[in-house]
Chains A and B, each alone.
Chain A
Amino acid sequence: MKITDKKTKTVLVVGGGVAGMSAALDLAGSGHRVHLVESGYDLGGQVAKLDKFYPTDHCAFCPLWTEIRRCKESPAISIHKNGRVETLENTSGGYRAVITQSTPVIDPELCICCGRCESACPKGVARPIWEHAYPPVYLIDRDRCGDCRACVDACPTKAIGFDREEEKAELAVDEVIWSAGFTEVSLEPLKEYGWGTHPDILTSLEFEAWKAESGENRGAILRRSNRAVPRSIAFIQCAGARDLRLLPHCSAVCCMHALKQAQWVKRRNPDVHCAILYTDLRTVGRDYHEYAMRDFGGNGVRLVRGRPSLIYPLPGGDGIAVKFEDTSTQKREIWKFDMVILNGNLKPALSSLPGATASPELDAEGFVARTATSCGFVMEPADVTESAIQASSAALRSITDKN
């Protein structure tokens, strides 16, 4: 019996990042139908928003591009953007899911990316989704929108509609795969990191967008406070992670992420001093440790073993002080940096569904328990490679019965 002879299953995949797309493509490739629910404007998840990709140092979007196109071109995959699973109930032999989805203010089907809404908008809230998006489309930031509707008249294709209703759809599916990825956790409770006290203290994802070649600074390495070139940048690892007060887990991707960012800072401006303050340098994966041991050019990136006890902006805008013990010299140090990048505060992006009988069981840290099929960061902190492997494995498990 071939897969093509078997009953076609319909699988609900929750999350359209690397994990969700990989699972969806494998399911479609094996002759099954997929409903892919993505909470964002477009597929791609967190990786689509990254500037660069480790360990290849390629633009992060390129490898994703093919996957996004394949998902969009597959007749077996229905994509629900701006989507959310509202309820999920067990039925005999499967699930009944109610999902909501909405067309954004600017309908991507109609947007030709001409930019006339951007010119018309007095508040500057119409902008491309992100410059890598494919196909490129604009979006309107409703939170800052003044509701003047000047863009509506400016749009030549009548793509802009402010009063679109959220659509609800009821789906009967055989299986569910959870692949909602990760989200940043506020570091507000951990006062010592100084998050929110100064514009030059950023989380690593904020910094990734800030330094992106496709971002507003066109790849220039600048301070966020005054747009001056920083003299030094500190990358603080395990900020919020491996910390029983906030996230007990290790987020797994941050060591390589910091190494990548430090390297790109060095590539673009070798004069910027970079230091990575780490606890354990977790470089587990093909070419990862070699990546860490590279000479980053110039005077290199300093790898310092230590975890800061206090990060505070110095008065008069004179940089940011980082107080820590260098555990390899046992000395208490206070170093001054122009920028501080906080790395590690990632948690699985899934909360239990209100009123759902088939909500996935989550463990104390928010990861999907192994009783449900999941892949990517909601299952276990994972990089792109691990996510893709788990996704294919989840796809197989969802369409076969282990006997």
Chain B
Amino acid sequence: MAKTGVILCNCFGEIGKVIDLHSLKKRIENDPAVDSVTIVESLCLPGDAAKTHSLMLERGIGKVVLGACSPFGKMEFVKLGLEKEGADVRSVRTVDLREGCAWVHGKDAEGATRKAANQLDMEIGLLQIMRDSKDIAIRVQQEALVIGAGPAGLSAAAGLARLGFKTHLVDRGSAPGGILNMITKTYPADEPGPEKIRSLVEETGRNPLIRFYAKTKVSAVKGYAGDFKISLAGPGGNAALRVGAVVLATGARILFPQGQFGYGKVKNVITQMEMERRFATGTAGCKTAVFVQCVGARNGERPYCSTICCPLSLKNAMRVMDENAGAKAYVLHRDIMTPGSVLEAYYRKALQKGVQFIRFDADRPPEVRGFDQVSGVEVFDTISGVNRFIETDLLVLSTPFIPDPDAAALARMLNIPVDRYGFYAEVYPIHPVETRNDGIFISGTARWPVSSDQAIAQGEAAAVKAASFLGRERVSALTMSRVPGGKLGHAFADAAACTGCGNCVAVCPYEACRLQRTGNRSVSRVIKVRCKACGGCVAVCPNGAMQVPEQNYRAVGEMIRRAFREVR
């Protein structure tokens, strides 16, 4: 068993000016567990890591308590330096003697020294009892699954293949393209929708690393990051895949505004998608077109902005004017959502072209006039303060993206959270395509309403993240996490103490705990790769069967005992 050593840093007097380091040394070196206590001037300057490491080797100490500054000071870099020197830093603990003792208790030298002694004592105690979690390494399956073959899914699959990974691209439709197939022109480049992704469709079709599964759904998911076992159900029967990472690009639906603004009853009250169909079939002729924004969005039920509807209306309003000589176009809006430089320029273009913008209030929405056929719209223009009547023969309703009804089931299967509406939720805004579940990435409108350009970028982002994960080929459960220094450890179920009550299974947010039948009883088993060492299972286990070895019950109990004893 490795010996325990304590190294105290003076920090050029920053610690020593308050804490009597020699007295501190005396107090802790009596502990039978402590082999040696060394006082040094610094631990963090260039060359110090090598010195500290050779001190450890010289004294034969494998477990080390470093009494120095705050972990938010330099201690993480000190540990990193030691790791580079070849030390096993899992048995290196740090105690904050500078900020936490010397600086805050500058006026009470004895108190600061006492506190320092107790904190060092606790860590010494912990080191005697803590164990390292048994780590496992898994082989990462060098293939990826992309679900959904719209702009996001196509670009994700193409990206993964460009990076050299075999990719399975699954779509429930018969051909790739998604909603974009129905869009005759996209904003702001006025490119036909299918044209926009033609190169991606061709690339994914041509690249031998990509296999496309039409009319196929994912029916079951087992396994974990690096080794997911996927069952597919398609026209050719069922198929089984083993993939290391999954990119979700399942798209979204667009809300049907049944009953609103006479939709479904009054002729020529249509949705944006129906407008696209009219453009495609050459039946978009009209004298006046009125576009109503935020139909079913930014309201009580769906308080979100759907991102694409404003630029979509700008595009279609301009197109109506282009394709019908002398036609007028109005956009009735609450705010024109064209953030950035490109879309703002697009808005200016529409203004210059003569598209008329009327701002209405959410509390006073426009009203449709006409019985079987739309004849006009009455709207209270908040900017001029008057009620206006616009004679029109076409009313186009801009409705938001809503989550696909299949998305929730898939999210459950893959154990990733959805937001309050049902869109896939990212782990944090700064990591927008990553999810709580390692190895699963999200992109496109299934994640949040976005334009096709944004969806393509998100597909690429998901591809590069998935590839970084797959590229590791072998990964250990402890280093899977992206947090520097890895995770603390992973939970472990003591089969002898476990009664199979299932509390751990119920609380684990990562589905890492499973009940497994052993002989005539069920016991809990932890899937190490999934475990994030959150400790939830430890807290709810009535028998103390669940433990994280690095901070097990006995170790924590010992720390508490030492926290309250006097160290002389």
- Interchain pairs with CB closer than 8 A, number: 205
Q: How large is the interface on B (under 10, 10 to 19, 20 to 34, 35 or more residues)?
A: 35 or more
Given contacts A30-B467, A109-B46, contact A70 B348 (CB under 8 A): no
In contact, B432 and A112 (Cβ under 8 angstroms): no
Q: Which of A318-336 contact B (CB under 8 A)?
A: 327-330
A31 touches which of B339, B382, B469, B471 (Cβ 8 Å): B471
State how many angstroms separate the Cβ of A177 from the closest Cβ of chain B. Answer: 12
- Complex CA gap A330/B382 in Å reads 8
- Complex CA gap A105/B359 in Å reads 55
Selecting from A203-211, A221-229, A259-267, A287-295, the interface stretch reads A287-295
Q: Which residues of B contact A386 (CB under 8 A)?
A: 454
Q: Which residues of A contact B482 (CB under 8 A)?
A: 66, 70
B468 within 8 A of A: yes
Q: Which residues of B contact A285 (CB under 8 A)?
A: 305, 307, 448
In contact, A392 and B465 (Cβ under 8 angstroms): yes
Selecting from B7-15, B28-36, B512-520, the interface stretch reads B7-15
Q: Which residues of B contact A113 (CB under 8 A)?
A: 73
A67 within 8 A of B: yes
In contact, A397 and B460 (Cβ under 8 angstroms): yes
State how many angstroms separate the Cβ of B139 from the closest Cβ of chain A. Answer: 13
State how many angstroms separate the Cβ of A74 from the closest Cβ of chain B. Answer: 10
A98 within 8 A of B: no
- Complex CA gap A31/B159 in Å reads 15
Q: Which of B71-93 contact A (CB under 8 A)?
A: 72-74, 76-77, 80
Q: Which residues of B contact A393 (CB under 8 A)?
A: 456-458, 460-461, 464
Selecting from A167-175, A193-201, A269-277, A376-384, the interface stretch reads A376-384
Mask: chain B, 12-53; 1 = CB below 8 Å from A; 0 = not = 111000000000000000000000000000101110000000
In contact, A290 and B304 (Cβ under 8 angstroms): yes
Q: Which residues of A contact B80 (CB under 8 A)?
A: 73
Selecting from A79-87, A119-127, A244-252, A352-360, the interface stretch reads A244-252
A3 within 8 A of B: yes
Q: List 10 extra interface pairs beyond A72-B77, A388-B461, A393-B456, CB under 8 A.
A: A2-B164, A64-B430, A73-B484, A110-B46, A289-B305, A382-B340, A388-B430, A389-B458, A392-B460, A400-B163
Q: Which of B432-491 contact A (CB under 8 A)?
A: 432-433, 448, 454, 456-458, 460-465, 467-471, 473, 482-484
A389 touches which of B11, B342, B461, B469 (Cβ 8 Å): B461
A156 within 8 A of B: yes
B residues adjacent to A (C-beta < 8 A): 11-14, 42, 44-46, 69, 72-74, 76-77, 80, 142, 159, 162-165, 199, 203, 298, 303-305, 307, 335-345, 348, 359, 361, 382-385, 419, 423, 428-433, 448, 454, 456-458, 460-465, 467-471, 473, 482-484
Q: How large is the interface on A (under 10, 10 to 19, 20 to 34, 35 or more residues)?
A: 35 or more
Given contacts A113-B73, A384-B430, contact A389 B471 (CB under 8 A): no
Q: Which of A341-396 contact B (CB under 8 A)?
A: 363, 365, 367, 380-386, 388-393, 395-396
Q: Which residues of A contact B430 (CB under 8 A)?
A: 18, 22, 63-64, 67, 384-385, 388
A146 within 8 A of B: no
A314 within 8 A of B: no
Given contacts A30-B163, A250-B344, contact A384 B460 (CB under 8 A): no
Given contacts A156-B12, A389-B433, contact A3 B484 (CB under 8 A): no
* In the A-B complex, the 6 residue pairs with the closest CB atoms: A29-B468, A392-B461, A249-B341, A156-B12, A252-B339, A400-B162
State how many angstroms separate the Cβ of B450 from the closest Cβ of chain A. Answer: 9
Listed A/B pairs (15) with beta-carbon separation below 8 Å: A3-B164, A29-B468, A66-B483, A66-B484, A73-B484, A135-B76, A249-B340, A284-B337, A284-B339, A286-B429, A290-B304, A328-B382, A388-B461, A393-B458, A402-B162
In contact, A381 and B45 (Cβ under 8 angstroms): no
Q: Which of A2-35 contact B (CB under 8 A)?
A: 2-6, 18, 22, 26, 29-31
Q: Which residues of A contact B458 (CB under 8 A)?
A: 389, 393
A282 touches which of B14, B335, B348 (Cβ 8 Å): B335
State how many angstroms separate the Cβ of B474 from the closest Cβ of chain A. Answer: 11
Closest chain B residue, CB of each to CB of A21: B430
A297 within 8 A of B: no
Q: Which residues of A contact B335 (CB under 8 A)?
A: 280-282
Closest chain B residue, CB of each to CB of A74: B484
Given contacts A136-B73, A385-B429, A392-B460, contact A112 B448 (CB under 8 A): no
State how many angstroms separate the Cβ of B350 from the closest Cβ of chain A. Answer: 14
Q: Which residues of B contact A309 (CB under 8 A)?
A: none
In contact, A381 and B484 (Cβ under 8 angstroms): no
Q: Which residues of A contact B456 (CB under 8 A)?
A: 393
Given contacts A282-B339, A290-B303, A380-B341, contact A156 B429 (CB under 8 A): no
Q: Which residues of A contact B162 (CB under 8 A)?
A: 396, 400-403
In contact, A3 and B467 (Cβ under 8 angstroms): yes
Given contacts A112-B42, A388-B431, contact A330 B340 (CB under 8 A): no
Given contacts A1-B164, A66-B482, contact A242 B344 (CB under 8 A): yes
Q: Which residues of B contact A232 (CB under 8 A)?
A: none
A residues adjacent to B (C-beta < 8 A): 1-6, 18, 22, 26, 29-31, 53, 55-56, 63-64, 66-67, 69-70, 72-73, 109-110, 112-114, 134-136, 156-157, 242, 248-250, 252, 280-290, 293, 305, 327-330, 363, 365, 367, 380-386, 388-393, 395-397, 399-403
- Complex CA gap A342/B490 in Å reads 50
In contact, B164 and A6 (Cβ under 8 angstroms): yes
Q: Which residues of A contact B448 (CB under 8 A)?
A: 285-286
State how many angstroms separate the Cβ of B469 from the closest Cβ of chain A. Answer: 8
B337 touches which of A4, A134, A282, A367 (Cβ 8 Å): A282
- Complex CA gap A252/B468 in Å reads 30
Q: Which residues of B contact A2 (CB under 8 A)?
A: 142, 164-165, 470-471, 473
Q: Which residues of B contact A114 (CB under 8 A)?
A: 11-12, 14
- Complex CA gap A288/B337 in Å reads 12
- Complex CA gap A395/B467 in Å reads 12
Q: Which residues of A contact B44 (CB under 8 A)?
A: 112
Given contacts A282-B339, A381-B340, A389-B432, contact A112 B164 (CB under 8 A): no
In contact, A286 and B419 (Cβ under 8 angstroms): yes
Instruction: Pick the most buried of A64, A156, A285, A286: most chain B CB atoms within 10 A of its CB.
Output: A286
State how many angstroms separate the Cβ of B11 from the closest Cβ of chain A. Answer: 6
- Complex CA gap A95/B14 in Å reads 47
- Complex CA gap A380/B164 in Å reads 30
Q: Which residues of A contact B13 (CB under 8 A)?
A: 156
In contact, B304 and A289 (Cβ under 8 angstroms): yes
Instruction: Pick the most buried of A2, A66, A249, A389: most chain B CB atoms within 10 A of its CB.
Output: A389
Given contacts A56-B429, A114-B12, A283-B305, contact A5 B164 (CB under 8 A): yes
- Complex CA gap A22/B433 in Å reads 12
In contact, B336 and A112 (Cβ under 8 angstroms): no
Closest chain A residue, CB of each to CB of B304: A289
State how many angstroms separate the Cβ of B446 from the closest Cβ of chain A. Answer: 13
State how many angstroms separate the Cβ of A32 from the closest Cβ of chain B. Answer: 10
In contact, A29 and B432 (Cβ under 8 angstroms): no
Closest chain A residue, CB of each to CB of B339: A252
- Complex CA gap A242/B159 in Å reads 36
In contact, A26 and B465 (Cβ under 8 angstroms): yes
In contact, B45 and A157 (Cβ under 8 angstroms): yes
- Complex CA gap A43/B339 in Å reads 27
State how many angstroms separate the Cβ of A277 from the closest Cβ of chain B. Answer: 14
Closest chain A residue, CB of each to CB of B142: A2
In contact, B12 and A110 (Cβ under 8 angstroms): no
- Complex CA gap A393/B462 in Å reads 8
Given contacts A3-B467, A114-B11, A248-B348, contact A381 B42 (CB under 8 A): no
- Complex CA gap A283/B297 in Å reads 13
